[in-house]
Amino acid sequence: MISYRDQDNSLLFHFAAPPCTAVDWFQRAMGVLGFEIIANKFAYAVFDPDAEGLRVSLIRNPYDWLPDINEFTRVNRRVASEITLCIPSTVTITNNYATAAFSAYAADVCLRVEDLPWAFLELLDSIGCRARESAMFKKFPMQVGLTHPGKSLSAAQRQRIYESEREFMERYDYW
């Protein structure tokens, strides 16, 4: 969990999200805009239950996220073991894993990665930050740069993911 403050030195919001959800892009964007970090814990760690204030997280389409998180945990075992949310060594596509993983963050605001950067800008607008007017942010790369491995899934794999993650996909309008 990372806590950001605004120019008045007051808490802006807390941020945490699972791996493979544009966490790096989000952190760089906040840095370009000049927001200071109050508490810098591990960005992938779930929110501290005692933390007060707005909790912001990122979510991603399970068709793309599940193959990416499998690869992430295979390559980054040390990092994966440090995440408060335990990620199994092999994520199966039939056990509601995406629903459980994203729900574990219990965020007040969930930004869909597919809606970045506009969802990010709307979040900042809604809390009174005028990011769109920042000369530095206008130079910032708007492309998040994630891959879409879900495009290579077979129809049967996509169906199993949909059946397993139906509630999550319907809640966040993933079809």
Name residues whose C-beta falls within 8 Å of residue 26's C-beta, 6 or more positions apart in sequence.
15, 17, 58, 116, 120
Instruction: Determine the pLDDT at residue 90.
Output: 43
All structural domains of the chain with their residue ranges:
2-171
pTM above 0.95, yes or no: no
Find out whether 4 and 36 touch, Cβ atoms under 8 Å.
yes
100-155 tens-digit pLDDT: 888 888 899 999 999 998 899 999 999 888 777 777 777 787 777 777 777 788 88
The number of CA neighbours under 13 Å toward the Cβ of 89 is 0
